[in-house]
Structure 1
Amino acid sequence: MDPKPSAAPTESSAQHVASHYNSRPELGLEKRRESKIIRLRKFNNWVKATLIQRFCRRGFRVLDIGCGKGGDLGKWGMARIGYYVGIDIAAVSIEQAQARYNENRRNKFSAEFHALDCYRNSLQSILPRDFVADIVSMQFCMHYAFATEQTARQMLQNVAQNLRPDGIFIGTTPDANWLVKRLHNSPGLSFGNAIYQVEFENKTDFSLFGHRYRFTLEDAVDDCPEYLVHFPTFERMAAEYGLQLIFQKPFHEYYQSLLGNQDAVNTLYSMGVVTDDGATMSRDEWEAAGLYLAFAFRKIQR
């Protein structure tokens, strides 16, 4: 990538994203099992679960930015957290997350949910008084913050302001290097397979912020605008807010790195990514998993 400054896009992109996720129906367990990307979903959940297992401790206070419909509530429950705050730009998703929490009587942690664009607004007005998170999570949503430098900085400010010293910021996001490499190897502006499609607007004028592409994923994302996250820029900006990179790995490498960890391997089976009879992701699903990377930062003492 040869990143360059870019003009700021309008707020309509954020509104489009909110409308997209507000309009997506809650499929239910049976429908999800019939999905063409069921193993990919399970693999993505495995990545998130192992991140939580690695960095979360009993009694932790969690700030989940971009919590969606609350799909990770069970993972946080397994980690025996103490308090949870979930925030998402899509109000309908927040209602569904609240309902999911209310319906699970086994929850041992307290929780609250808020609808807010965390990339254009401070969280101070909605967070509980004196709330400071031990861990901040941002799963499959941080790339929307890179629409502009201002929204990326607001995102980082919200993370750093509400995270205790030595606290952890974990997340998953599309891997810009992988996307750009695939683009350059494609004859046109788009590439993909039977379950996903990526379409760029150009393949030469890359910018630090606001470099938009459109993404479609079967049963999950319908032609939604997304933005490249130039990771060196993300790391440099995060350091300005006292966030120090611990690790960053593309999903394929992340998977390989945990094959020697018996707990992580056991979780692959318990979550159904791999079954005892050898069933696992299709070739198309494995390729789609390569779109993403996982990361973790620690807030350093100042």
Structure 2
Amino acid sequence: MALPSPPLGGLTFSLVGPGRVGSSLACWLVESGASLVEVAGRSEPTARALATRLGGQTAALASLGSENEDLLLIAVSDSALAGVAATLARHPQAKVALHTSGHQSAAVLHPLGPQGTATGSLHPLMAYPDILPAASAAAGSVFAVDGEPEAQQMARRLVTAWSGEAVEIPAESRPLYHLAASLAAGGVVTLLATACNIASSAGLPAAVGRGYLELALGALDQTRGLADPAAAITGPVARGDLETLEIQLRRLREADPERAALVATIARETLRHRQQRGELDSTHEALENFLDAFPRADKGP
């Protein structure tokens, strides 16, 4: 009995940007049957290591020409994208070029259009603490796509091969889409770090910080499968417990007014979510009044 063909068998590609995201996607492409041709990056040793690992060659960005390939994957920083696209446009490139930015739309690759390359974007809504070599890491993940039809078709083909879900995010929505993504990842970590700092400033043992991490992981796990994550919000604000919140905020304000203002802002946002869900009752009215009167963050001059 013949083995099934790999989903991306026969596809050829080159990569610009062998960082954590680019290297991960390149590994997934090769695992799914694609062939890596060339890798270009700021660090030649990094590019060479990935090329050796996946059976490709290295190239300088200024000389990279992928015109005989199906895909050019560009995984560089937002600030570098426009310059990289202009440099790549000096030579004919692949049938399709996809960048991995969440903030930028496909339009940033417009220099490649006149030579016949269809341009688009493929942003994995995932965290990359390191290179993720196995395509199974992408299973169930969401990928934001946009661009020309041929480019979107390629992007969706890759996402399907990796058992992910592709969603189109238009250019005008990209800034807020990426801001929200940053809040969901970096913002959550920032809040966890802030909680640990508050505990440390209060002289609490380091073990408490580890406990906060487990608490955060448990809270996030409760949101799985929920249409609205706000349904999993718990704590004094959600319960309308004014006495507890008042004691805590006043104590924090004495020690750290700026962080007290931050916590009060988060409490107001919690109430907003409760209101949207129709879950505010008489127990929350006094709490709302208290938060309305609580000093807000200094807006500066």
Higher Cα radius of gyration:
2
The structure in which a higher percent of residues are strand is 1
What TM-score, normalized by structure 2, do the two folds share? 0.35
The structure in which a higher percent of residues are helix is 2
**Larger RCO of the pair (alpha carbons < 8 Å, separation 6+):** 1
